[in-house]
Chains A and B, each alone.
Chain A
Amino acid sequence: MSWRVARVSGLRDETPSARTLVLDVEDWPGHVAGQHVDIRLTAADGYTATRSYSIASAPDVERVEVTVERLDDGEVSPYLTRDVIVGDQLEVRGPIGGWFVWRPEEEAPVQLVGGGSGFVPLMSMVRTHAARSSSAPVRLVYSVRAPDAVLYAGELARPPGHVQVTYAYTRAVPEGWPDRPRRVDAELLAAATWPADRRPRSYVCGPTGFVEAVADLLVAAGHDPRTVRTERFGPTGGTR
Chain B
Amino acid sequence: MGLISRGFTGRRREGAEDLPPGQYLTHDFPVLAAGPTQRVPTDDWKFTITTETGARHEWDWAAFTALPRDEVTVDLHCVTRWSKLHTDWEGVSLDTLLADVETSAHYALVESYGGYTTNLPLEDLTDGQAWVAFRYDGEDLDPEHGGPARLLVPHLYLWKSAKWVRGITLSDHDEPGFWESVGYHNYGDPWREQRYWE
Q: Which residue of chain A has its CB nearest to the CB of B80?
A: A239
Is B39 on the interface with A (CB-CB < 8 A)? no
Instruction: Pick from B2, B13, B80, B81: contact of A42, CB below 8 A.
Output: B2
Query: How many B residues touch A, CB cutoff 8 Å?
Result: 14
Task: Output the residue of B3, B8, B80 with the most chain A CB within 10 A.
Answer: B8
Interface SS, B side: loop
Is B192 on the interface with A (CB-CB < 8 A)? no
Is A91 on the interface with B (CB-CB < 8 A)? yes
Residues of B within 8 A of A3 (CB): 2
Q: Which residue of chain A has its CB nearest to the CB of B7?
A: A83
Query: Which residues 1-19 of B sit at the A interface, judged by CB distance below 8 A?
Result: 1-11, 13
Which of A44-52, A97-105, A223-231 is the contact stretch? Answer: A44-52
Q: Which residue of chain A has its CB nearest to the CB of B1?
A: A46
Instruction: Pick from A43, A83, A88, A89: contact of B10, CB below 8 A.
Output: A43
A39 shortest CB reach to chain B, Å = 9
B84 shortest CB reach to chain A, Å = 16
Q: How many contacting A-B pairs (Cβ < 8 A)?
A: 47
Interface SS, A side: mixed
Instruction: Pick from A44, A49, A75, A79: contact of B4, CB below 8 A.
Output: A44
Residues of A within 8 A of B81 (CB): 239
What would 24 A/B residue contacts be, using CB atoms closer than 8 Å?
A: A5-B3, A41-B8, A42-B2, A42-B3, A42-B5, A42-B8, A43-B4, A43-B5, A47-B10, A47-B13, A48-B10, A49-B10, A75-B11, A79-B5, A79-B7, A79-B8, A83-B7, A83-B8, A88-B5, A88-B6, A90-B3, A90-B5, A238-B80, A239-B10
Seen from chain B, the residues whose Cβ lies within 8 Å of a Cβ on chain A are 1-11, 13, 80-81
